Structure 1
């Protein structure tokens, strides 16, 4: 009698175990495998502007194009809207180990996440001088668990373009925010090259976008042309800069195609979406098993001349036939 009861109990236990096992297999979608973990990638953006938006979108689109669908990868985008405190909070949230990788757009966001010293791998997008910004010790051997793309501003090419388009320039004005290391680095390179070319230089410094109007008005009264570095504060106020320069009939040479779209006369620039896509390819290598230290950071060369036809007409600058054929002309 006891043996029969024991056999029945054993049979029930075995049946239950098999049922649970089959249910687990069914939920995994395979006969004996486990469900693939959904990846989670964070994107931190310093501020919303055309250049940074294009970089972010290029990064995300490349991930999708390379097969990382919404079912396979969740992408969380957070924008600090230019607020340093908010950016640090976002960086802290994304450094908690719940993300498989974090991408950072431009220098301030990249510095914020590197400073977290997170174990989460990081890929940065368009940092003009990663070494001076303290993001990597060398481009060839990235450390701090971060690698990515650099967009060094082609100062010499931009100034040489100004010689072609506006050869009468003798004095250059530069307006920038000293708290952005990327901006300061570019300004120093610009001043060095301008001085070597015989230009006089006048500087105007701002701390926020509300100071730009007064600063640019004062600067335009002293110079023949203005150079704008890769500065998020000035870029955010480019319509103000462009309108003041048009009224003064003086050219503004920017550091990105977005600045030209916003009214600057011209630049030599890097494709923003393309540099985002390049960073995404590096991110994919990390997601497949490499560490950031195994992937050298790369500088993406600027090759695209961009000219604003409306601005050119407004300040009386004639675009040569040669430039019309080789440059991208925007309205």
Structure 2
């Protein structure tokens, strides 16, 4: 009788132990299920300059604001196309969750490396012409993002030059190897139709050639217009120096170049288009959206920014008419 009683107690204890063990296992599983995922994002950027750097800041802030835990691997190609492709290939080998491509060459290299990993770009001038997407509305494939081309930016700049600059020769320095730059030059030519403005083009391949290119425009150009060309913008200070020394108005394609010493630009904050790209990345990573579902986004804001100090350095007299259409910085 005693032996049977002991067996019953043992069985009861064993059952209780199993029940507690099961509860513990279930609790552990729940804890593991609630563990926040850390997404791995590879960032590829062709060069370092203020506009691209601001775009990256905006991208990171968007993901932070949405509460995502992210591990970033930021790689700068230093303007070298071989490095550019190697960076993209390495991200694919590492099987990152998403690639953030900051510039046209960076996005092209990423797409060349993978058709499976989602790619979000920014600072891309002509996504369709660069063969990154099928169309703005329906990107297709594994790529989408934000473009740094506001439809009105170049036409308004050309109109301003035509109305307020003495002379009709517009010097343009650009890297003919950058597809985004070639596309912008063609847009400038179209915007000039109906005016007597004409382009004086100078092509460069590296940043080391930019100063000499700027010097070659002295006496040949009545103003200089630097579009969003990564090679030239990386060496912008040399162009600013030439323009200041020879009283040549220097127009730019984005606001950061005006803050660095350019005279004027119709533009927007690259931080904003980076932020918008970050919001798209959140939809892909967190909401299971596909890049093909997300149309390419244009910049939402456009403004004219004029640098008063640069105007003085370049011998430009400020026009009261500009007060109602421009923002000024000293």
State the distance in 2 between where 1:227 and 1:189 align: 13
Q: Equivalent residues in 2 for 1:127-142 (5 A)?
A: 127-142=124-139
CA distance in 1, matches of 2:90, 2:21: 41
CA distance in 2, matches of 1:272, 1:47: 15
In structure 1, the residue matched to 2:198 is 200
Aligned Cα RMSD in Å? Answer: 2.6
Using the alignment, how far apart are the partners of 1:74 and 1:137 within structure 2? Answer: 30
Equivalent residue, structure 2, for 1:162: 161
- 1:212: which partner in 2? 210
**1:1-331 matched pairs, under 5 angstroms:** 19=21, 22=24, 25-26=27-28, 29=31, 33=33, 35-68=35-68, 72-96=69-93, 98-152=95-149, 154-166=153-165, 168-287=166-285, 288-301=287-300, 303-331=302-330
Give the TM-score, by structure 1 length: 0.88
Give CA-to-partner distance per residue, 1:187-235, whole Å, 9 cap, x none.
1111232243111321111111111111111112211111112111100
Distance 1:56 1:297 in 2: 17
Which deviates further from its counterpart, 201-210 or 47-56? Answer: 201-210
CA deviations on 1:256-285 (whole Å, 9 max, x unpaired) are 111112222111002111111111111111
* Matches of 1:301 and 1:158, distance apart in 2: 17
The number of aligned residues is: 322
1:44 Cα deviation from its structure 2 partner: 1.5
CA–CA separation in structure 1 for the residues paired with 2:124 and 2:207: 21
Give the drift of 1:329. Answer: 1.7
- Where does the alignment leave 5 or more consecutive residues of structure 2 unmatched? none
1:58 CA drift (Å): 0.6
Counterpart-to-counterpart distance in 2, 1:219 and 1:128: 25
CA distance in 2, matches of 1:80, 1:16: 58
| Deviation at residue 79 of structure 1 after TM alignment | 1.6
Bigger drift between 53-62 and 216-225 goes to 216-225
Secondary structure, in 3 states, of the residue corresponding to 2:124? Answer: coil
Q: Which runs of 5+ in 1 are unaligned?
A: none
